[in-house]
Amino acid sequence: MHVKELFDLKDQVALITGGGRGLGKQIAEAYAEMGCHLALCSRKKEVCEETAEIFRNKYNVIAKSYELDVTNESMVEDVVNQVLEDFGKIDILVNNSGATWGAPVEEMPLEAWNKVLNVNVTGTFLMSRAVGRHMIERKSGKIINIASAAGLTVRPPEITNTIGYTTSKAAVIHFTKDLAIKWARHNIHVNAIAPGMFRTKMTKGTLEQKEKEILERIPLRKIGDENMLKGAALYLATKASDFVTGTVLSVDGGSTL
């Protein structure tokens, strides 16, 4: 097989949560460029639709948008069923929707803790379960969970003070490994990407305040840009990773070393 075929996604279908902007949009573009059709989901459907329209015109793929709260069980089931009706299949699931909350541990409201855990952990479970049933029937699938370098290490409060987020991403990493061994018999590959610091809406405030200190902790001395996650996301979605499951691929400039 030619190496280009290993990374081809022509006529595959990817469901990406939080796919309208940030890291989800970057991943969606990488897939669209390789011929993949897109189902982009988030609570803000209009943002997903704007992105879908761009990719439809730019890459000549089918791209549709869906309103989705990943913590709502019935909504998850309905949207997955609608995507299956619209596209006929789901080859790739990217669990990218995420939430964070910055506060000292002793001041963090329970409501904030629950919100972060529900979106990042429960949402990943609900999406994986709903799409996984379809993948089990087909005996094929790629699930990519967007974890975080923050789930692999700890930092002093002067750098990050988001214990709900870091705990949730550590949970996503373990969920990835456990699900990988459960579903390997169904030829479903389950892997995670652990991004470090990227320039997104979620990190804008932190970078404005602490970019110098953050850069000092990144061996490559750079912040992730709009292209640096694409290769990892493409690798884990394609035939190139057919002998890889249960792994966590850090894309963090060396910050977790």
> Catalytic amino acids?
165
User: Would you state the torsion angle of the CA atoms of residues 237, 242, 246, 250, taken in this order, to the nearest 10 degrees?
Assistant: -50
Whether the CB-CB separation of 82 and 131 falls below 8 Å is answered with no
Collect contacts of 43-46 with beta carbons under 8 A, ≥24 apart. Answer: 43/67, 43/68, 43/69, 44/20
Q: Which two tokens stand for residue 156?
A: 């002093």
Distance CA(78)–CA(84), nearest Å, equals: 10
Whether the CB-CB separation of 37 and 62 falls below 8 Å is answered with yes
Burial (CB < 10 A; 0-12, 13-18, 19+), residue 94, is: buried
Provide the greatest CA pair distance for the chain. 56
Q: Which two tokens stand for residue 135?
A: 């993948």
**DSSP track, 95-150:** E---------GGG--HHHHHHHHIIIIIHHHHHHHHHHHHHHHHT-EEEEEE--GG
Q: Across the beta sheet with 13-17, what order do the strands follow?
A: 63-67, 37-42, 13-17, 92-95, 141-146, 188-195, 248-251
Distance CA(175)–CA(168), nearest Å, equals: 10
